[in-house]
Structure 1
Amino acid sequence: MRRWLPALALLSTAALFLGVYVGSVGISPSDVTASIAYGIKSTLSHFTQTNPGEKPRYFVIIWELRLPRVLLAYLVGLSLASAGVASQALFRNPLADPYIIGVSAGAGIGAALGAIYAPSHMGSLALASALLSVFIVYSVSRVDGHVPVDTLLLAGIAYGFLASAVTWYLIISQGERAHVTWMWLMGTFNGAGWGDVGEMFIVSALGTGFLIWKWRELNLVLLGEESIALGLDLHLYRKLFIGVIALLTAFAVSTAGIIGFIGLVSPHVMRLLLGPNHKSLTPASALFGGVLLVFADLLARTVAKPTELPVGIITALMGAPFFLYLLMKHKRGELYS
């Protein structure tokens, strides 16, 4: 862990810089550095009453457009990967993630309702809808206190289709505004601002921080009912982890739309490298999830220029084959369940 954490932090920094550097307007690395430095000085000048100096020529593009977008993508990826780690521990299988088990689609209903009828309550509606989705999928999948992998996947996929159908109906009912909402629903960071970054930072810090703090409990939850004999209040921590999964997923969906497979790919890659201990797995998966989504957003912006693709398409193209690979390994009994 001592070696991997600095490596992932360095990779995160490189991904963030690359995300800001690459775009439709060619900007040199020195211009990127100068604009970010000026932005930091300008922010601090409000408290220190100092003059930050002359504004760099590409400051607006970098500080107001690209940097908030890249930071938001990183924080959403971090949140989804953290929710994926907790989902896999809670449901005791490596194929669970908020997208596959229907939580993201469920949160999409609340977010769509908020976007149409109550934009100021979009996050809270998405959270309530995500909690309801977890409850439904978990209740349907549970058999004598155990959640079989096949039942979980079928329940999650079925509920995801149902939730998506409801969401699409809500979108189509908007008429002329349907296209804008469709782009958001498929996943986009276009138009991201510093307010979005601040809100997502608070949610991701609280949710991911809680999961990192409770790494021992995540390890014990994997044991299921046996953990009760080791002193764990299993029912309490199941509720707590469900709440954290719903919180992270709901705010990610309300901020950037439905983005799949980050919560599946990142934890599994880190599990292969670091093992199943959540002390190292949780923070590593979170950091790597942020990196994955920054690169996915970068591809969404550049692969079909001048058209911008929804980032959800990119993550689906990356994650769906990976999910099929994991499913085949599970079929052969090579994954824990």
Structure 2
Amino acid sequence: MRAARYYGNGDIRIEEIPEPTVGPGEVGIDVAWCGICGTDLHEYKDGPIFCPSPGHPHPISGEDAPITLGHEFSGVVYEVGDGVDDLEVGQHVVVEPYIISDDVDTSEANMAYHLSPDMNFIGLAGRGGGLGEKVSVRRRWVHPIGESIPLDQAALIEPLSVGYHAYQRSGATSGDLAVIAGAGPIGLLLAAVLKAEGITVVMSEISELRRRKALDSGVADHAFSPAEVDVAEQVRELSSDGRGADVAFECTSVQPAMDTLVDALRPTGVLVVVSIWGGRGSFDMQQIVLKELDVRGTIAYVNSHPETIRLVEQGRIDPGPFVTGKIGLDGLLDDGFDTLIHRNETAVKILVSPSGRGL
């Protein structure tokens, strides 16, 4: 089968590799669509980061580069291993792409399995990936979806789950006012979750194209450019009592955006840092103290996929507007990575069909 293989910084190759063996307790998935994530771009430009370097295998997967990329994917079950009796061939599924040690409790009772030592991801640290035609995944991480969700849109369940977990971390409730800094893929999908939960969304974004996407897709109620207006003042004017937003989400890893959110929050508001920062950030500590703000981090998801899937199945979230391109493996670098690195305002999610059958 064909797969996109990560060898190192700037080195991704489309190669023929053996099909995976579906072992006991595993599910063989014929990949339909796989999204290109910002993490994949960081690995390509600046890595290895999550991907293990040659000669340095990941402590859980036991694999090192080259590895098959891709962790945002949907597909169809083509085989089930011994002991798997609750899924069947032909069923549509998505994957919660964790690589977690066998001694970690990954049940619904543990809301911290994603914080366990050496946690990593399928498609970044081994165990196959969605940028290969087929993958075998442990049953725990496979989530069935209704056929009412098109398989291309289903590939967005994984990044939507990132947004859902960030929403959970914020403690926001219906009727709250939220401000998001950054209308990139995660910012937009987070906004979709917030709107589904009855929260008013204000988007702060410099790019006119991204602001327009946020408004036209219906996931933002208001969108402002911080280069043109005082976003914090606009948020205060929109709030019911003039004191600011209840919650704020940082999705840029840019210091001025962080400063704007701290300013835009009401006293006792909650700031959730969603983006992964490549360097140190800072806070106006006086505002944090005098306004008694809560600052919370969030990483990936934990038991978030089932509820995210329900929101999509119920029609409360429409992933369709965020699928902005579809390509085959041969176009991965020129049509996929190059667009997202150099012309990222023009795209949200570019999906890859590893087999080419979806094109």
TM class by shorter chain equals under 0.3
Could you say which structure has the higher helix fraction?
Answer: 1
Instruction: Give the structure-2-normalised TM-score.
Output: 0.25
**Higher strand fraction: Structure 1 or Structure 2?**
2
TM-score by length of 1: 0.26
- Structure number with greater CO (CA < 8 Å, separation at least 6) is 1
